[in-house]
Structure 1
Amino acid sequence: VDIKQGKIVSMRLCVGSRDPMEEVAQAVVLAGKGIEGDRHNLNEDGTKSKRQILLMDRETLSRFQLDDGVIRENITVEGLELSSLTDGDRVSVGSEVVLQITGECEPCSRMDEIRQGLQVELKGQRGMLAYAESGGTISVGDSITVSVGDSITVI
């Protein structure tokens, strides 16, 4: 099993679909729901959302000359290329939280509001969506570890 590690460099909550993201130094992850206070923690009909948490790496953001949070990710990491992850991979964050990758985030038309053509440029590189398998508190500076090959069937 190949182990890859990085760290959280910034975090933010999406409180409303068009509202500015709220930057936080610490967040509570709720098992089966996502980040407390984030609008993606449940689908509108109350069912489990596969897009609870959006993870993005700073290395990819830098390649596109984008700042942390511009593409509306919840967690920005450094030292871990997220595009190498696949559905079902498990990601450990800090000492308690385990996230399960549910797939890549498709760039939407809102990316072109940031910069014309960005939606197409970011194809396959807009970060990874994850489901909160186990909860706890996470903080900026926490390690984020992936055991590649330690994957399970996607929910």
Structure 2
Amino acid sequence: MIGRLEGIARRFETRGDIEVLESTSIAPETGISGDFRGALKPGRNKRQISLIEADSWASAMADLGLSLPWWTRRANLLVGNLKIPRAEGTLIYIGESCCLEVTMECNPCWRMDEIAPGLQAALAPDWRGGFLTRVITGGPVALGDEIRIEA
């Protein structure tokens, strides 16, 4: 299974503005460089990087009749042309060296309805809200990089 990295975003604080990037570095100690959530915290490292599938976002937008940019979801990475297995422990490889491990589903919270009424419910089925991951190995990533799932 092979897809493409279609989007990269980070924020410097909770509820902070989203910065959309063309490339960045990922590391086990920091997650996405400069993103507030990625830094290692004792016992709380299941949420370093969040991913959302482009098809899932498109489906949620179609359900609501909206056309909001993907980063409105506040995810870090947009995955195109790939359906990620809905299972904790799945390994996702990006580019030459980066490896992320799925730790849990990213359940959409009530804040999604602050963005658009009904968005929380539209993101709820079939992991549409995305995936939370921890960094296994880091490296540079850029738009267009190959994303693959390996057994």
Using the alignment, how far apart are the partners of 1:54 and 1:89 within structure 2? Answer: 14
1:122 is the counterpart of 2:123? yes
- The answer (yes or no) to whether the contact 2:95–2:146 under 8 Å persists in 1 is yes
Once the two structures are TM-superposed, the CA of residue 32 in structure 1 deviates from its matched residue by 4.4
Structure 2 partner of 1:143:
146
Query: What amino acid does structure 1 have at the position aligned with 2:39?
Result: L
- The answer (yes or no) to whether the contact 1:33–1:49 under 8 Å persists in 2 is no
1:72 is the counterpart of 2:74? yes
The Cα offsets for residues 91-123 of structure 1, whole Å up to 9 and x where unpaired, read as 110001011010110111110011112212211
Structure 1 partner of 2:54:
58
- The answer (yes or no) to whether the contact 1:32–1:133 under 8 Å persists in 2 is no
Using the alignment, how far apart are the partners of 1:33 and 1:129 within structure 2? Answer: 15
Structure 1 or 2: larger helix share?
Answer: 2
Once the two structures are TM-superposed, the CA of residue 69 in structure 1 deviates from its matched residue by 0.7
Query: What amino acid does structure 2 have at the position aligned with 1:67?
Result: P
- The answer (yes or no) to whether the contact 1:102–1:131 under 8 Å persists in 2 is yes
Query: What amino acid does structure 2 have at the position aligned with 1:73?
Result: A
- The answer (yes or no) to whether the contact 2:31–2:37 under 8 Å persists in 1 is yes
Query: What amino acid does structure 1 have at the position aligned with 2:55?
Result: E
Once the two structures are TM-superposed, the CA of residue 14 in structure 1 deviates from its matched residue by 1.7
Structure 2 partner of 1:153:
none
1:29 is the counterpart of 2:26? yes
Structure 2 partner of 1:91:
92
Using the alignment, how far apart are the partners of 2:117 and 2:99 within structure 1? Answer: 35
TM-score (ref. length: structure 1) = 0.86
Q: When the two structures are aligned, how many residues end up with a matched partner?
A: 142
* Gap runs ≥5 in structure 2: 62-67
Q: Which deviates further from its counterpart, 113-122 or 124-133?
A: 113-122
Taking only the aligned residue pairs, the percentage that are identical comes to: 29
Using the alignment, how far apart are the partners of 1:25 and 1:141 within structure 2? Answer: 9
Superposition RMSD on alpha carbons, in Å? Answer: 1.4
